[in-house]
Chain A
Amino acid sequence: MSLWLTLAVNSIALGGLLFLLSAGFSLIFGLMRIPNLMHGSFFMLGAYLGVTFLDKGVTFWLAALLSGVAMALIGSLIERFLLKRLSGQELPQVLLTLGFSFIIADLCLMIWTGDPWQPATPAELRGALQVAGLFFPIYRLAIVAVAVVVAIALWLLVDWTRLGAKIRAGVDDPPIARMVGIPVSRLFTLVFALGAGLAAFGGVVGAPYLSVYPGMDAEMLPLALIVVILGGTGSLVGAFVGSFIIGFLFNFGQAMFPDLAYVILFLPMVLVLVLRPQGLFGKVVS
C-alpha cells in the first residue's frame, strides 16, 4: 500500500516539475511554432546554476529566482541573435535548438563534471507530514504548491493582461496579429526568455528531489514533448493536466513495467500525433 502511495506522491511532485518545464515549452511551441529541443538543457543548466548559487551561500528560493533570470537572459540572447536570423524557417530553427542542446550539455559536463549534485532540501520544508498513519514528504508537496502558484500566475498573465492577450493573438493567428500591430517578433524573444526562465526555475526547485546530473536534459526534453503533444501546444491548461498525467504514467510505468518504460511514455505521444494532432486542449499544429 505504501509503495503505491509513495509512487502517487512522487507522481504529483514530478507532475509539478513537469509543469514548470512544459509551460514554457508549450508557449514557445504555440507562439513560435517550434518544438524547442534545447528546453531540457534550460532545465538542466538552470539547475546547475542554482546549485552553484547555493554553494555561494545564496538562500534557496533566491537561488531559484536568480537562476531563472539568468536563463531568461541567455534565452533572450539566443533568440534575438540566432533564432531570429532564421525567422520564418521553422525547421532550421528546430535544428538550431538541437545543436545548442549538444553545446549546453557538454559545457555543463565541462564546468560541473560528471558527478551528480544534490542540494539539501530547504530547511523549513524538510521532513514529512503525518496524516492518518501515512507519511507525505513535505518538500514534494511544496513542489506541487509552487507549480500551482506559477500556474495561477501564468494564467493571470495570459488571460488577464494585455501582454497575455497579445501572446494569445500571436498563438491563434500570427499574420493577423502582425496586421493589427502586435509586435510578434518581440513577443517571440519575450516568450522564449520566459520559457527558458521557467525551465531553469523548475530545475532548481526540482534539484533537491531529482538531483542534477549529466543526461538529465535528454531525459526531461522528451517528457516535455510528450506533455505538450498530449495537452496541446499553446495551452496552459493542457500543459497542467498533461504534466500530471505524464507524471503518473512515468512513475507507475517504471514501477510496473520497467522493461517497457519508454514505450509506455512515447506510445501515447505517437498515437496523439497520428490520431489527434492538436492534443487534448490545443490548437491544430500546422
Chain B
Amino acid sequence: MTALAINALCKSFGGLRVTSNVNLSVEPGERRLIIGPNGAGKTTLFNLITGELSPDSGSIELFGNDITKVASRKRTHLGMARTYQIITLFARETILHNVSLALLGLSPLRWSFFGNLDRQHHIVESAREALAHVGLEGIAARPLAQTSYGERRRVEIAMALAQKPKLLLLDEPFAGLSIDERRDVQQLLKRIPRDVSIVMIEHNMDVALDFAEKVTLLHFGEVIVEGTRSDVVNDPRTKEVYLGH
C-alpha cells in the first residue's frame, strides 16, 4: 500500500491548466522531493493534496483511502500535516502556545468551554517534547513575535511533527534561512523516523537533493521527469526545463 497515491489529477483556473494529469505515488517512509521552476504548480499540487483546493478530475489516496472528497481539516485528522512557504504562525502567542494549538487541533478538548489550554498537562508536555525535537525547548515561553525567522521555521516544523503525522508535506522549508539555520533544519529532517513519509517542495538544490531519495520534476503542472537523484539531475529534459528560463 502506498502512503500517497495521486491519479490523473487535473486542475484549471479559468483557461489556465495548473495541474495537468499528474500521477504520483509515494511509498511509506519515503523522502520525496518535488522540484520545478516558478509557476510549475508545486504549491498548487500541495493545496490539492491537503484539500484546500479541489481538483477538477482525478483522485487522491492516503494509505489506500480515497480522500479526494474529504474536507481539508479532516485530512489532518487522517494523518496529514503541512508547513507553508510563507510562515503563518500565531504572532500574539508564545512558542509553546503555538505548538499547543497544533496539538489541540486533533484533540476533542478543543470544544471544551472550561479549563485553560496552557494548563492541560498532557498537551503541554507533548508540546515541549515537539519543541525539544527541533531544539527550541529552551525558549518555549518566548512570544513568537520575539523570535528569529529561522526559529519560526523550526516552530512550524515542530507544530507539524507534534501532530504525529503519517504524511508530512513541507513547502520550501529552507526558504529564507541562513547557512547555519539550513544545516539545523537538515539535521532535524534526518532525525524524523521512517514511520513518517515526507514530501518536500524546494528550490534550493544543494540542501534538497541531499535529502531526497526520489525526485519529481514538475513544469507547467505536468510531471516531466521522475526518478532517483542522479536520474533526474542527468536527464536532458531537466536541463531544458531549467535553462529554458
CB atoms of A and B under 8 A apart anywhere in the complex? Answer: no
